[in-house]
Amino acid sequence: MISVTVELVRGRVVTPDGEFADGVVEITGDRITRVDDAAAFAGHDLPAASGIVLPGLVDVHNHGGGGAAVTTGDPEQVRAAARHHLSHGTTSMLASAVTDSPDRMVATVAAAADAAQLGEVAGIHLEGPFLAAAHCGAQDPRHLLRPDLGLARDLLAAGRGHVRVMTLAPELPGADALVGLLVESGVVVAVGHTEADAATAERVLSADGNGLATHLFNAMPPLHHRDPGPVAGCLSAASRGLARVELVADGVHLADDTVRTIFGLLGRDRVVLVTDAMAAAGMPDGDYRLGPQAVSVVDGVARLAGDDGSGSIAGGTARLLDVVRRCVDNAGIGLSAAVVAASTNPAAVLGLDAELGALRIGLRADVVVVDDDLRPLRVMRAGRWVT
């Protein structure tokens, strides 16, 4: 007979429905089997309270970390990046490809699919190549293309069912057919690197009621009262419950006041916190790569390499727990709201909210214990402590 281990984790427990100042999460095997106030566990041999207990975080926009990039076509690089973020509380992440030549993009997706098959990543995010040149950001403009259904099918095939999200510019010729293919394939349509008008952005995001705005405000025209553009379209779709918006709330991509405003406008349930992390996440300043592009990191800020240091922001260097901390400490977002935006909501984007993304009975036991400064102490994935 196989015995199943039962473990109790005690501390300040944060759930989507509220907090327990002194709570306990009961874990049986790889599942959460009870979440309650410590007083309700009378008669149990309870451990001492230790730290703040959060669900494992879910990052749906991540190009690498710990010196490893998911954009090289090397499965071990994908796994190494995932392990780095896992050690800092991200128990599920997508491997995000960037725009590159078709052959290299297919190789990148195939490598990420290998990691997904092993359960190291939760799937693949395609950021490109069907993006607007005028707002390419750190995407290599040499490889930007108009929507091509043949190439899209090749990328989906290389992903072997693991492609979860694709970012595209909906104003490009052929975008509607591409959106149709993605929806038919069960891939979340994300609007980004775009100069679409508000109506086009909103229409595409509303295609299946589960749209996503890729790093809202970044790589798109700013909101203007007479020409509202994609920002307004994304906010409108999200306000109607048909989309969610990514925020890279790391203090570099967005001002803290902007983050606070979007949480105030949309509420916690429509915001998805992401890192847009690249290989330099958790690493010293220096020279790195983001797909085909050379990147220089100075004072923790990644930019396309250039002589004057004024290149486009080229991804992030924070981990998702760092983003949660920034939201709480600098943007004034409540801890529960920030955690929902970094766990429950991204899990819902991926259609995995019945499996992970919260401290709830029946979900996978992904648990992060942090100190009062929201720095990681212990990380559990599927009932096993990994740090």
* Residues designated catalytic: 276
Residue closest to 97 by CA, chosen among 186, 188, 163, 177: 163
> Coil, helix or strand for 95?
strand
Is 356 within 8 Å of 363 (Cβ atoms)? yes
CA distance 22 to 17: 15
Distance, CA of 120 to CA of 85 (rounded, Å):
11
Burial class from Cβ neighbours inside 10 Å (0-12, 13-18, 19+) for residue 189 reads buried
Q: Are 130 and 145 in contact (CB under 8 A)?
A: yes
How far the first Cα of the chain sits from its last, in Å, is 29
The radius of gyration computed from the CA coordinates of the chain, to the nearest angstrom, equals 20
Q: In the structure encoding, which two tokens stand for residue 233, read together?
A: 């379209």
- What the block records as the tokens of 240 is 């109607």
CA distances from 153 to 25, 51, 187, 372 (A): 43, 47, 12, 47
